[in-house]
Each structure stands twice: as structure tokens, then as C-alpha cells.
Structure 1
Amino acid sequence: GMGAQYGRVSIGVLIVQDIAAVVFLAVSTAKLPSPWAALLVVLLLVGRRLWTRLMQEAGHGELLVLFGLVMALGGAVIFEQVGLKGDLGALFFGVLLAQDRKAGELARALFSLKELMLVGFFLSIGMQVTPTAQTLLLALGLICLLPLKSALFFLLLSRFRLRVRQAAFASLALGNYSEFGLIVTAIAVSKGWLVEDWLVVVAMAVVMSFLIAAPLNMRNAKIFSMLKPSLERLEHRQRLPEDEWLQLDDARVLICGMGRVGSSAREVMAERYGSERILGIEFDEDKVGQHLGAGYRVIQGDSSNPDFWHRFVKPREHVIEQVLLCMPNHESNKRTAEALRAWGYDGLLAAVIRYADEEEPLRRAGVDTVYNMYAEVGGSFARELLLTEEKSLSSRDTEPG
């Protein structure tokens, strides 16, 4: 997933590409900004606390979506008033809000709206252009360059000491043409820098690249396993800090996914085994930092990646008795179960599920026990309520008359 190492690398590359596209949009106006532009930027930076406070007060529903929309459109309008490109204003407001802890929630709230606008943009481009045999051939020519693009990304990422598996996955994720390329082409055509036929060519190439990339990324693990012998020769001798060897030490219980469910499971397991014998695994670096700060044993890593388990220095008789899969993503739990069994773990393996149809795939992947969160939460709540009621009644009975 996008939370794994290759996902974060892919997003980082896309962000750099998007920034380059926004800079191109900004300079494409060929106008000097107003002298007030510098003062506006300073005022917005000084008022950052106000924007983040407004975001906190917006809550979690429709008002948060409206806030994000106003920030994007309002930022664009304000920047245009001082001679700057509106796209740059929307980007600037995004940067101002990005450091706040609620920025992720805002991004998720705006995701559907962003996708809708992107579809509208593609539709408007499609209505402007008429494909011909010549433009179709040119688009197919660009599609033929995609393997070269992925190969270059793989070489670049592997030279930066990314493990070949992660480099291959990231290269596949980046193996399509970006919609920002289409936006840049549309601007170039509107300025007369390119003939209109190139808008048709790039539009078709972007759409076809998405159609090709989607099934390939769904089968990235199978594709890598076929190419693994050849790609492993390009493995860098040095490892990144997050790929160093790991120690199990005397851990008895592994908990994969240290969110709310995993943290609660850790507390219960610590009562039986002791805190030092519980080892958590979490790919979110912020969560890892929080748990380490609280004194818990947690390591950062993608447990669904088979290579992750081979980073452990496996003792002759490893003492892991139980592994709990507490990740919110069903596919991540299934892949982790498969990776664990392939690694050689033959102990108890338990997983949480949200829907009944998720149980059978996990069983086939080697999971022994499943816990349906939605089905069991009502019973747990009722038992807790009855226990509280019993304690309340017993305390009343023992009160002196």
C-alpha cells in the first residue's frame, strides 16, 4: 500500500513532479507579481495559527470539506489579486496546513472532491479534442516508452540504496504518465507553444497508461517474483537505516499494526507475558515514535513485505508464541499472514476482520483465529456494562447502613 516504504517513495516523487508542474503554471503567465505579493506571503505565514485553528474548529464532517474548499479556492483568488498564479495560492495554503495533525483527515475528506474535479478535467479535455489515426499512433509510441521510464526509476531508486523489491514496486507505481503532464500540455497549447494535436496525444497516452498500470500494480508481487533473480544482482551493498538487521531477542508475542486495536491488544498481552516480551510492528513512523516515547518495544517496518521478515536475525529456537494481525487493511493482514508462514513461523496466528467475507481468505493464508470487530464489539460493550453494574451493586451492599 501507499503507507509502505515504496508507497512513500512514490508519493515523494509525485509531489516533486507536482511542484515542478505548479512552478511551470506560475511562470507561464509571464507577468511580474505585484509588490504586495511579498507582504501577502509574510502575512499568511504569520497568520498560520489562525488557519490551523479554523481547521480544528471545523470538526469532522461537511464543514471540514467546506473549509478545505474555501482554503483552496480562496487562496487562488487572493494570489491572483497580487499578480500570482491561482494554482500557486492553493498550493501555498496546502503547505501552510500540512504540518498540522489534522491535515491527513482534511486530505481524506477532500479526496473524493479532488477525484471528481479530476474526472471533470479529463472530460473537458476529451470534449475539446478529436482523435485521429496519427495522434493514436503517437500516443502508442509514448506508451512504448513506459518500460524505459520504469527501468530508469528502478535504477535510480536502487542506486539510492532502496531494496530491489521496494524499488521495483515503486517503479511500477510510477510507471504511468501523470495527469499533471496533461495539465502542463493544456497550458502549453493554450499559450500557443504546442499545436492542439499534442493535447490529444498526451490525453490518450495518460488514459492508456492508467489502464495498463492498474492491473500491473495489483500483481506487483507476482511480477517481482518472476524478475527477482535478475533484479537481485542490482541490490546495493549498503542498506538504508530502516532496512538494517532486526533482533527478536526474547519477544513472545508479535503485534502487527499498532493502531487503536493493536495498542489495546498490547496492554492485555503485557499483563500476561510482561511488557518487555511484547514486540509491536508498525509502518507509520509517527506512531512508532509515540510508542517508543511511551517506553514500548516497537519497530518500524512493513510486515506485509516478505523481505521484512528476512531482516530478523532468526535464533535457532525462536520463542514467538503468538502473532496478532491488527491492521485495518484486510489485504495487508492477508499478505502478512502469507509472509509469516513463508518465513517459517508455525505458531498461533490471529487476525481482526471487519466483514464476514474476509475470514475465508485469511484462513487460506494460514490464520488460525479471526476476531470480527463489528460483530464482537456489541458483546464486549454489554459485558463491560454488566461488570460495571455488578461492581456498583456490590459497593452499595457493602456500604454501612
Structure 2
Amino acid sequence: MKNIELKYGKNTININVPKKNLIGILKPKISHQNICEKLEAKEVARALMNPIESPRISEIAKPGEKAAIMVSDITRPVPSRKLIPGILDELNKAGIEDRDITIIFGMGIHRSHTLDEQKKLVGEKVFNRIKCIDSNKDEYIFIGQSSKGTPLYLCKTIVEADVRICTGNIEYHYFAGFSGGAKAIMPGAANYESIKHNHKLQLQPGVATGKIIGNPVREDIDEIGEILGISFILNVVLNEKKQILKAFAGDYIKAHREGCRYLDSIYGVEIEEKADIVIVSPGGYPKDVNLYQAQKSLDNAKYAIKENGTIILLAECIEGFGSKTFEEWIRAADSPKELVERLKREFKLGGHKGAAIARILLNNGVYIKTSMKKEDIEEIFFEIIDSVQETLNGFIEKSDGNIKILIIPYGGSILPKAY
């Protein structure tokens, strides 16, 4: 037996898998040792002092200018409190005073933060020093439209800033290719209509996890960054402990692409064959804070599963569905196929997540270990389970012991790549 520990919320679940059935545990290509905060700070400082294809922030900014820093919201694992101090030092060095700096939490269509959540994200010292706002509490200003027709309604503070800095982490994204870069603006700083139009591009050809070239969603996001004028980015790639492995700073396209290549070299994991059963965890909190977020791990797992195979998802989902529209679409559908067809007729944010899950359900069964109610899980055509181990044992017994099992402990980060 192979004992495997998987994260579930802020806790862990252990399972035992017969070695003869286990065809792989997908992990990053390098072994990640624990990284102390001192080393993380050193890596962030290195990136800020040696930006990619860009001057330093202290050389871009001018005294008296207003600066805005885009920061990810509470559903993302970005260690913003470790990124902001170095940026503030650079802005202060350029002569920009704290009163002329605003931190904007990129909310997209997510719920607003509590003050405690804002404080947690940036750290108490920074929170007490710099004005912090949620993007969805700001006024939206129309600044034009992209070549793909996306209307650009962006929060007033980022539009009116002289220096616009975007932060974030780089990981795989199921229709934007990768997170990070200009994604801090679209969808982070945009209103509902803008995000809806951009996300609707996922229905076009060329959209895929880990794909940039020829991906209409990412192309639109990057063009929007150019139209607005992003001054500088600071993106990081994290290890499975959510610690900073490497930082990428500078030009919003070139620094981002270098970060994507680095991520792919570590988290793009080749598999020799697909499995009958894939057991996947998003990696614990906040990746599994709700079903809306946990869907990303499910989407990555689909690349490792055989047709008509089974995915077992461990996602606590303490906030339930995580999106009102997502929940409404799921409850209104009588079948996965109905969800997919509805999105083609009537694209709506939140509904797009339901359709993404439904596309997986057309080919595979999904079992879930979660804190959500059984009746809610049944609405999305999943099977809820009490014990991952007992469920796995049942599948093994039914197969006469011939089943092939693959484990993905950090499904939000790992992209399986079949030969």
C-alpha cells in the first residue's frame, strides 16, 4: 500500500492505494523544500531590482504622481503581503508619497471583502499605511473597446492613476491559458459587462489550459492591458506550500511570458497513460473555498482521465457554490448537456463555470468529498461521498483489482500532459 496525504480545506485526508494499481502521483518536476520568508523577500527584491525588458519602478514613477497597485482577492493564493512592501519602497524612492498610492483588490465578479480580509491580504502594517479599496466598490469608467469588441469599463482609480502596477501569481487557467499578467485588469478591475464579453471568447476555437498563442481570451486580456497602459507587473510562481519559488517583474507581456515558461517547466507533468480513476485535491484552502474555485482542479484532472473514467474530487467548499449565478444555472439544469447547450444560447458569467463542469460530466463520473449538502451536490450531478478510502476500495473491488489510479495532490497547479 502507498499512503498519500491530500489537503482538504485547512486539514488533510490520508488514503491508502495498492501499489499495483497506482500509476502515478503527479507532483512538480522539482522537489520543493520549505522556503523561509527571508529567502522569499530576497527573491522578490531581486526581481524588482532586475526587471525584464523594463526600467525599475523607481525609474518609471515621478514625484507627485498617483500610483495604483492591483492585488488579487481572497480567493487567490497570492502572498500579496510579501509583494507590496518592495513595491512601496520603489514608489517612495521615486518620490511618490503614501497618500498618493492606492491598493486595489481585483474583485472581478467575486464578492466584496471584509476589512479583516483586506488586512490579512496585505498585512496590518501596509493596511494601516496605504488606502485599500475593492475594485467593485469603485466607479467604473468606459475607456473604449478591444479589437475583439470587449467594452472596457474599468475601475476609476486604476484608470486615473499615472503608474499602474499589477501583481499576482502565475498558474494554469482553463480558458485564459495562464493566470497573471494583465489578468489583474481583466477581469480584476473590470465590470460585469466587460468580463462577460471577454469570457464569452472561451466559446471560440483555440482556448485551452496552458495555451497563449492563438488563445482569443488571452489575446483580448493582453490587448486590454495595452489599451489601459500597465506600467509594471510583479508576478510570482508558488510551490505547493504557497511559498514564492520565483518572481518575475517588469514588462507586463515579456515578464509574464517568462513566468509562464518557468511554471510550465515545473508543473506541466507528462503522463504515459490515462487513468481509470483520478483522485484530485485543489491543494486545500483557499483553492477549495468554494465549488466555483475548485472547478479549476477538476478541469485539470480531465486531461488525465480515460473516457468514462471517474474523478474523485476532495474540495471542502466552506462557502458552498461561491457564485449566485453559478448556483442558479446548476439548479435550473436537468442534465449536464442542458448546461452546455444553454451557454451556447445565452452566455452568462457564473453559468460558464457550470458548463465547464458539465462538459466533463458528459464523459466522466465525478464523486466529491465536501462539506456541502448532499442535495446541493446532486444538483450538479456529482455523487457525494463520506469516505474517499471506502469509495476507492469499492471501485477496486468492482474492477477485480485491475483498475489504474492516478493521484493529483495539487490539482490547481498541475497540468497533466499525455504523450
Same fold by TM-score greater than 0.5: no
| TM-score of the aligned structures, taking structure 2 as reference length | 0.30
* Structure that is richer in helix per residue: 1
* Structure that is richer in strand per residue: 2
| TM-score of the aligned structures, taking structure 1 as reference length | 0.31
Rg larger in 1 or in 2? 1
